[in-house]
Structure formats: C-alpha cells, structure tokens
C-alpha cells in the first residue's frame, strides 16, 4: 500500500538523519588510518584497540555536535532490534578480522623464503579486503550506501598495495585518508546547513 510505503519512507528519513553529519565517515576513516599507521609503526595491537575506542567517541561526538542541530530521535523498537542484530554480526566479523590481521602480521614476520613472495604480495592485502567486506556488510545492514563505496576503496587499496608489494598497513592509508576527507567535507557542510538550534523547545 502507498501509505505504508510513505510511512516507511518517513521512518527511513528519520533514521538517515543520524548518519548525515559526516561524523561516521570521519571516525571510520580515522579508524582505518589508525589500523594502517599502527601496522606501519609495527605495533598492530594498537590497531585493534583504537578502532574499538572510536565507537563510544562517535556516540559522544554525535550527542555534542549533531543532536543540538538536528535533534534527538529514539528509533522504533523494530529498528533498534535490527540495529542490535547488525551490530552483533559486525562485532563478530570485526573480531575475526582483527585476529586474522594480527596473525597475518606476525606470520609475515616469519620470513620463510619459500613463501616469501606470496606473503609479500597477497597476505598483507587480506586485512584491507576483509575490512572492505565488513564495510560493505555494514553498508547493507545499516542502509548507508556510501559504506559500499568505502568498501570499494578498501578493495582498491588492498589491490594497489599487493601490486606495489607494499608492507602491511600501507593498504589502509589511501582509503583512510579519502574517507577522512569525505567525513570532514560532510561535517563542514552539515554545520553550515544546520546551525545550532536556539529553540529551547515546547514552552
């Protein structure tokens, strides 16, 4: 029915306002950069810890920056349940990715001559590809289409890194920088579009 579709559209629009401030992009990009830089600096554990800290940091930033401008909304119970399931699925994938990534990093340190060429090319790109899969999955689960584009960037970063025989970590730099730039651009545009509301509320 048309009216049901219209209500769905209203609900989706209400939901989408949460993600239009650019903060998500900024934090996703920062997380990807953190992973890359921690690998380059040969301290991969930091790359596993820092992205996890970005989730509460995003929540605080959203509350401080976005809510005074676009308001607060508590989503419907159905949407909240769906989001919870999506987060659980992503958390599982994230843990698996990080474990695989850290293992891959230590594996590449073994410097076995027989598989050295393979390690230098394909395996360092694997975390970027896995993160890309995670990004694509998040994009579909949370209905944020640009995460699909970020997945494409991560795949491209992984492929380019493998082609250039780059070490682990370098694959994340290009996608991370691009996503941070997108986030900053979106945030600036959001702040211009929505000045902080001086309306206190219902008198």
Partner 1 sequence: MTLAKPDTPNAKRLAEIDRLIHEPARLSLVACLYVVEAADFVFLMRQTGLTGGNLSSHVSKLEQAGYVDVKKSFVGKRPQTVLRLTSKGRTAFERYRRTMSGVLTPAPRRRPDGPGCVEPESIVAE
Among the listed ranges 12-20, 21-29, 109-117, 137-145, the one in contact with partner 1 (CB under 8 A) is 12-20
In whole angstroms, the minimum distance from the beta carbon of 122 to partner 1 comes to: 46
In the chain, the N- to C-terminal Cα span, in Å, equals 38
- Decide: is 143 part of the binding site for partner 1 (CB under 8 A): no
Instruction: Map the footprint of partner 1 across residues 66-105, applying CB under 8 A.
Output: 67-77, 80
Evaluate whether 171 touches 161 at the Cβ level (below 8 Å). yes
In the complex with partner 1, which residue's Cβ is closer, 53 or 81? 81
In the complex with partner 1, which residue's Cβ is closer, 113 or 198? 198
Token digits of residue 185: 């651009």
In whole angstroms, the minimum distance from the beta carbon of 87 to partner 1 comes to: 18
In whole angstroms, the minimum distance from the beta carbon of 198 to partner 1 comes to: 9
Among the listed ranges 4-12, 22-30, 122-130, 142-150, the one in contact with partner 1 (CB under 8 A) is 4-12
In the complex with partner 1, which residue's Cβ is closer, 81 or 181? 81
- Decide: is 199 part of the binding site for partner 1 (CB under 8 A): yes
Instruction: Map the footprint of partner 1 across residues 14-73, applying CB under 8 A.
Output: 14, 17, 63, 67-73
Selection from 63, 4, 32, 9 nearest residue 182 by Cα = 32
Residue 79: other Cβ atoms inside 10 A: 14
Evaluate whether 35 touches 172 at the Cβ level (below 8 Å). yes
Distance of alpha carbon 100 from alpha carbon 85, whole angstroms: 23
Distance of alpha carbon 51 from alpha carbon 67, whole angstroms: 23
In whole angstroms, the minimum distance from the beta carbon of 197 to partner 1 comes to: 5
In whole angstroms, the minimum distance from the beta carbon of 71 to partner 1 comes to: 3
Distance of alpha carbon 142 from alpha carbon 24, whole angstroms: 12
* Cβ contacts of 143 within 8 Å, gap of 6 or more: 12, 15, 16
- Decide: is 201 part of the binding site for partner 1 (CB under 8 A): yes
Instruction: Let me know if 155 is exposed, middle or buried by CB neighbors in 10 A (0-12, 13-18, 19+).
Output: buried
In the complex with partner 1, which residue's Cβ is closer, 69 or 146? 69
Binding site for partner 1 (CB under 8 A): 1-3, 6-8, 10-11, 13-14, 17, 63, 67-77, 80, 194, 197, 199-203
């Amino acid at each position: 029915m048309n009216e049901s579709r219209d209500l769905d559209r209203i609900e989706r629009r209400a939901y989408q306002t949460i993600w239009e401030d650019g903060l998500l992009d900024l934090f996703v990009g920062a997380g990807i950069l953190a992973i890359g830089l921690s690998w380059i600096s040969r301290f991969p554990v930091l790359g596993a810890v820092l992205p996890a800290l970005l989730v509460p940091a995003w929540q605080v930033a959203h509350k401080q920056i976005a809510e005074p401008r676009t308001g607060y909304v508590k989503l419907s119970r159905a949407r909240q349940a769906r989001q919870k399931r999506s987060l659980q699925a992503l958390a599982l994938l994230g843990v698996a990715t990080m474990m695989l990534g850290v293992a891959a990093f230590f594996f590449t340190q073994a410097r076995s001559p027989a598989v050295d060429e393979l390690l230098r090319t394909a395996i360092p790109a694997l975390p970027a590809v896995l993160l890309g899969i995670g990004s694509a999955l998040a994009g579909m689960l949370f209905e944020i289409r640009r995460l699909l584009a970020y997945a494409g960037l991560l795949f491209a970063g992984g492929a380019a890194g493998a082609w250039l025989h780059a070490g682990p970590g370098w694959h994340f730099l290009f996608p991370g920088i691009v996503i941070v730039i997108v986030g900053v651009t979106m945030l600036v545009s959001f702040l211009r579009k929505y000045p902080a509301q001086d309306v206190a509320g219902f008198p």
